C-alpha cells in the first residue's frame, strides 16, 4: 500500500514535534565557564530537629568563592537537595554580578529511620513537610537549620554568616518542594521575599489548592515569585498541576504581586527549570538591594478598604493584655488592659492616658446612646457604666461576661463564654438569657455586635469557624439563629480564633482571628484578610479617629492603628441601612 505524500509529511511533522516536546537544553550559564571562580560545597547530616522530631536529612551548603565573612551573605534555600545545576549557575551569575554573593543551602526532606530497617520502612516526611501548609517548615528553617549552618566553617576557615534580611533571601523548590518554598515565604514574607517555583504542587495534596483564593483575599505580601510549569505536567486525584499553576499566576496578578512565569510543554521533571534557572534568578534578584514591592495595581478588595500606603502604626505598648476597644461620639478610642485592671483612653491627638483604675479586670467595652462607657467587669461579675469623668455605677451583676454591645434603644447584649450564653439587659434593668447553647451551637460565644441597621445580632464563636446571626425581636429577644459568616481557618488550627468584631457603614463585618482581621460582606463571605500587626493574639478592633476611618486593633500587649478608605459605625447612634449586598 502506498502512503499519500501529504500523510507522510504530516507523520514526519508530528514525529518532529514529539521529539521536540520537553527537549530543553541548558545554556552556557548552566555549564562551567573558563576563568569563573568555583564555589565550595560542604555537606552534613542534620538530625536535631524539634519541630520535626526524629528526622534526619542531608544538607549541602554552597559557599561562593567571592564570599567574605565580614559581610553576611545573601541566602538561597532549596528543597530536595541540589537541583538544576544550581551551584554552577551561581558561580557564573555571581561572577557576572547578575546576582549577589549568595550562600546556597540545599536541604533534603526529613525521614524517620525505621527501628528495624530490615523489616520496616523509614517514615518519609516529604509530604508532611513540603505539602503541608502553615509555618512549621518556615520555623524549621529559621529556628533550626539556618542557625546550624552558621556554626560551620569553610575548608579554609571562613565563618559562615547569613543575612537576616528577608530581602536578601530566596527560596526555591520543585514539585512539592516548590509549594514548600512558597509556603515558607507566604508564612514569613519578612524572612523570604523571593521564590522560584518549578512544577509546583499547588493541588490538593494537603490543601495547597486553596492558595489562589487565599492570595486574592489576603493583604498582599512583599514577595517576588517566578513560576515554571509545562502543559504535560501531572494530572491526578489532587488536581491538574499545570492548571493549578496558571491559577496561581492569575491570583498573583489579581493581587498585585511581582510575578513572572515560563510555561512550556514539559512534564513533571526538571528539564525546563534547568534551562531557565539563570534567567529566573536574574529576574528574582533584579534591582537588588532595592526592596521587593507589594500590592502594586492590586484588584483585591482588601486594598479597596486599606487604600495605598496604609500601614500599621504603634499607638500604645507595655500593657499586660489589651482588649475591648470602644469609640465615643468624638472618635476617641478606649481600651482595657485586663491583667492590670485598667481602662485607657486614646485622645484625638494620639496621646494615651489612664481613664479608670481598678476596673474589675474589665474586658469588653462599648459606648451607649447616653454617652456612658459600658464595661464587662468580669472580675466582679458585673456590668458597669462609666460617666465621662470616670465615675462608675453597676448596671447588672451576677453574670459571667466577655464582650457586649449597646443598641441605640439602650438594650445591652452580653456574651457569656463559660456558660455558652448570650444575655439581654434592658434599660430598665431587666436581665435574661436570650440564647443558650448547652445542646449545641456556639462553642465559645465571644465578640458581639449589631449590624448597622440594628436588625441583626452577630456573635463570634472563637472555637468554631462561624459568626452566628440572629434576628432581633421587638422585645429584644432573638430568633432565626444561624451560622452565617464563614471564616477562614489556618491549616494548623481547628478553630478560627474569632474574638472581637467591628463594622463599617456598608455593613462589612471585621473579625479578629488567627489568620488576621478577616472582613466579610453582608452575605457572610470573607472578602479580605488584613494582616495582623504582630505575631501575637489579635483580640479586637474598632474604627475611631475624628473621621471614624482609622482602624484600631488590640494585639496582645500593644494597640495599633492604620488609615482606611471606609468609615465605621457605632451602635449607640441611630440605625443606618446599608446598601443591598451583591448576592
Q: 249 and 329 share a domain?
A: no
Q: How many residues are listed for the chain in this entry?
A: 583
Q: 391 and 370 share a domain?
A: yes
Q: 446 and 503 share a domain?
A: yes
Q: 88 and 214 share a domain?
A: yes
Residues ≥6 apart with Cβ < 8 Å to 68: 158
Asked if the structure places residue 157 within a domain, the reply is: yes
| CA separation for the pair 79, 192 (Å, rounded) | 14
Q: 255 and 320 share a domain?
A: no
Q: 340 and 463 share a domain?
A: yes
Which strands sit side by side in the sheet containing 538-544, from one edge to the other? 313-316, 558-563, 550-555, 538-544
What is the predicted pLDDT for the residue at 190? 97
Asked if the structure places residue 28 within a domain, the reply is: no
What is the predicted pLDDT for the residue at 116? 81
What is the predicted pLDDT for the residue at 376? 98
Q: 470 and 497 share a domain?
A: yes
| CA separation for the pair 125, 65 (Å, rounded) | 34
What is the predicted pLDDT for the residue at 16? 41
- DSSP letter for 69, please: T
The cell numbers describing 475, all together, are 422585645
Q: 325 and 382 share a domain?
A: yes
> What's the CATH code of the domain at 148?
3.40.50.1820
Helix and strand element counts for the chain (H, E): 10, 36
Spatial CA neighbour of 273 closest among 42, 43, 89, 141: 89
> What's the CATH code of the domain at 402?
2.120.10.30
CA end-to-end span of the chain: 65
Which residues are bridge partners to 131 per DSSP? none
Asked if the structure places residue 577 within a domain, the reply is: no
Q: 193 and 281 share a domain?
A: yes
Strands (E), 128-187: 169-174
What is the predicted pLDDT for the residue at 128? 95
What is the predicted pLDDT for the residue at 20? 57
Which stretches of the chain score pLDDT less than 50?
1, 7-9, 11-19
Count the domains in the chain. 2
- DSSP letter for 209, please: G
Residues ≥6 apart with Cβ < 8 Å to 102: 64, 73, 74, 75, 76, 90, 94, 170
What is the predicted pLDDT for the residue at 6? 54
Q: Which residues of 426-459 are buried (b: 16+ CB within 10 A; e: fewer)?
A: ebeeebeebbebeeebbebbbbbbbbbebebbbb
DSSP letters, 474-543, are TTS-EEEEEEEEE----TT-SS-----EEEBTT--EEEEETTEEEEE-TTSBEEEEEPPSSSS-EEEEEE
The cell numbers describing 155, all together, are 575548608
Q: Is residue 296 exposed (0-12), middle (13-18) or buried (19+ Cβ within 10 Å)?
A: exposed
Asked if the structure places residue 24 within a domain, the reply is: no
What is the predicted pLDDT for the residue at 508? 96
Amino acid at each position: 500500500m502506498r502512503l499519500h505524500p501529504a500523510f507522510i509529511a504530516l507523520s514526519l511533522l508530528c514525529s518532529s514535534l514529539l521529539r521536540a516536546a520537553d527537549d530543553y537544553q541548558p545554556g552556557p550559564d548552566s555549564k562551567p565557564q573558563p576563568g569563573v571562580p568555583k564555589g565550595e560545597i560542604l555537606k552534613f547530616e542534620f538530625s536535631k530537629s524539634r519541630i520535626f522530631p526524629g528526622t534526619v536529612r542531608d544538607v549541602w551548603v554552597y559557599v561562593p568563592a567571592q564570599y567574605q565573612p565580614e559581610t553576611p551573605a545573601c541566602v538561597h534555600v532549596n528543597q530536595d537537595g541540589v537541583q538544576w545545576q544550581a551551584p554552577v549557575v551561581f558561580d557564573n551569575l555571581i561572577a557576572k554580578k547578575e546576582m549577589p554573593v549568595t550562600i546556597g543551602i540545599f536541604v533534603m526532606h526529613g525521614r524517620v529511620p525505621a527501628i528495624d530497617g530490615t523489616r520496616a520502612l523509614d517514615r518519609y516526611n516529604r509530604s508532611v513537610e513540603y505539602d503541608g501548609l502553615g509555618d512549621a517548615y518556615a520555623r524549621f528553617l529559621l529556628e533550626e537549620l539556618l542557625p546550624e549552618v552558621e556554626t560551620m566553617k569553610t575548608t579554609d576557615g571562613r565563618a559562615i554568616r547569613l543575612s537576616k534580611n528577608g530581602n536578601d533571601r530566596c527560596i526555591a523548590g520543585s514539585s512539592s518542594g516548590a509549594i514548600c518554598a512558597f509556603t515558607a515565604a507566604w508564612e514569613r514574607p519578612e524572612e523570604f521575599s523571593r521564590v522560584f517555583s518549578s512544577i509546583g504542587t499547588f493541588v490538593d495534596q494537603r490543601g495547597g489548592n486553596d492558595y489562589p483564593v487565599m492570595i486574592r483575599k489576603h493583604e498582599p505580601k512583599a514577595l517576588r515569585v517566578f513560576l515554571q510549569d509545562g502543559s504535560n505536567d501531572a494530572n491526578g486525584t489532587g488536581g491538574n498541576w499545570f492548571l493549578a499553576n496558571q491559577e496561581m499566576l492569575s491570583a498573583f496578578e489579581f493581587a498585585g504581586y511581582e510575578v513572572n512565569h515560563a510555561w512550556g510543554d514539559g512534564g513533571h521533571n526538571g528539564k525546563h527549570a534547568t534551562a531557565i534557572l539563570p534567567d529566573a534568578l536574574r529576574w528574582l534578584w533584579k534591582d537588588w538591594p532595592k526592596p521587593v514591592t507589594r500590592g502594586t495595581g492590586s484588584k483585591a478588595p482588601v486594598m479597596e478598604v486599606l487604600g495605598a500606603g496604609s500601614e500599621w502604626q504603634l499607638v500604645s505598648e507595655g500593657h499586660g493584655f489589651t482588649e475591648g476597644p470602644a469609640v465615643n461620639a468624638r472618635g476617641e478610642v478606649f481600651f482595657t488592659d485586663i491583667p492590670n485592671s485598667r481602662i485607657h483612653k486614646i485622645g484625638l491627638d494620639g496621646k494615651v492616658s489612664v481613664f479608670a483604675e481598678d476596673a474589675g479586670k474589665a474586658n469588653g467595652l462599648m459606648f451607649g446612646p447616653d454617652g456612658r462607657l459600658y464595661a464587662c467587669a468580669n472580675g466582679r461579675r458585673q456590668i458597669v457604666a462609666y460617666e465621662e469623668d470616670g465615675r462608675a455605677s453597676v448596671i447588672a451583676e451576677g453574670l459571667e461576661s466577655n464582650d457586649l454591645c449597646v443598641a441605640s434603644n439602650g438594650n445591652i447584649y452580653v456574651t457569656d463564654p463559660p456558660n455558652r450564653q448570650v444575655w439581654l439587659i434592658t434599660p430598665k434593668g431587666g436581665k435574661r438569657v436570650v440564647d443558650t447553647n448547652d445542646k449545641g451551637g456556639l462553642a465559645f460565644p465571644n465578640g458581639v455586635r449589631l449590624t448597622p441597621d440594628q436588625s441583626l445580632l452577630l456573635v463570634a464563636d472563637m472555637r468554631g469557624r462561624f459568626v452566628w446571626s440572629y434576628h432581633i425581636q421587638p422585645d429584644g429577644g432573638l430568633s432565626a439563629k444561624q451560622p452565617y459568616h464563614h471564616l477562614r481557618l489556618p491549616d494548623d488550627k481547628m478553630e478560627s480564633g474569632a474574638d472581637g468584631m467591628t463594622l463599617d457603614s456598608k455593613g462589612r463585618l471585621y473579625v479578629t482571628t488567627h489568620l488576621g482581621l478577616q472582613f466579610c460582606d453582608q452575605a457572610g463571605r470573607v472578602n479580605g484578610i488584613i494582616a495582623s500587626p504582630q505575631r501575637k493574639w489579635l483580640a479586637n478592633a474598632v474604627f475611631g479617629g475624628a473621621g471614624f476611618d482609622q482602624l484600631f486593633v488590640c494585639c496582645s500587649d500593644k494597640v495599633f492603628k492604620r488609615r482606611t478608605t471606609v468609615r465605621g459605625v457605632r451602635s449607640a447612634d441611630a440605625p443606618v441601612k446599608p446598601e443591598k449586598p451583591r448576592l
